[in-house]
Amino acid sequence: MKNSTQLIVNALLVVAVAVLFYLHFASGKPAKPAATPAPIAAAPTDTTAAAEADEPEVPLTPAVLADTNKVAYVETNRLLEEYQGMKDASKRLEAKARGWEAQNKKLVTSFQTAVQQYQQKAEGMSAEQRAATEQQLQAQQMKVGQEQERLQSQAQQEQAKLNDQVMGRVNKQIEKYGKANGYRLILATGAGNIAYGRKDLDITTPVLKYLNKEYAGKK
């Protein structure tokens, strides 16, 4: 029976989509930003000094220093992996993803059950009954696909919202850090925008310490 065989194939395709949905949206990995944070300029000063990884801890409400020629960079990927604000936001997104996956699983299971019931009863049906049932199953399959697209769109929107919120906060705090330590410029590595940087200019460690302390104080 050509039509019923096609429905079996289509049912398997719906299951495949469900698996891909789970792997993409419920992986539990920290979300990546849509774009690398832009370089953050701090107020200029008159002394020249290279960035050091063991800079003194900065107050949470730093005062703007005089102009310097200090330039440094932070590793964006490491910030995203080790910043507690991103970890907590990713956990919230993961919890939502489990809910979306539960909805998706329910849709797929319902469709599979309907297909199986049809296969069991198909031989005893008239041609008209088979045609009507297959039409109903095709309509159900279309609804499943539409709902999966809606869930995927919702997941993507939530992930984009998470990126905007977390990276907005990170950029704001790095700006405060830069002003407090007299940096003229703090660059962000990632997306191929810095081909080379001396390790003594890498201030990711002290910046992470500052970010996590600021985040813990406002939770």
pTM of the model as a whole = 0.63
pLDDT for position 39: 42
Question: Residue 51: what pLDDT?
Answer: 42
Per-residue confidence (pLDDT) for residue 190, from 0 to 100: 75
How buried is 213 (Cβ within 10 angstroms: 0-12 exposed, 13-18 middle, 19+ buried)?
middle
Cα distance from N-terminal residue to C-terminal residue, the chain: 61
CB within 8 Å of 120: residues ≥ 6 apart: none
> Can you state the percent helix, strand and coil of the chain, rounding each to 5?
65, 10, 25
What pLDDT, on the 0 to 100 scale, is given for residue 110?
93
> Can you give the pLDDT of all 219 residues of the chain as single tens digits?
545 445 444 444 444 444 444 444 444 444 444 444 444 434 333 433 344 444 545 444 444 444 568 999 999 889 989 999 999 999 999 999 999 999 999 999 999 999 999 999 988 999 999 999 999 999 999 999 999 999 999 999 999 998 899 999 999 999 999 999 999 999 988 755 777 888 999 999 999 999 999 999 876
Residues of the domain holding 204: 2-218
DSSP string for 126-138: -HHHHHHHHHHHH
In the chain, the number of structural domains is 1
Distances (CA, A) of 158 to 63, 108, 149, 162, 164: 35, 23, 14, 6, 10
pLDDT attached to residue 189:
86
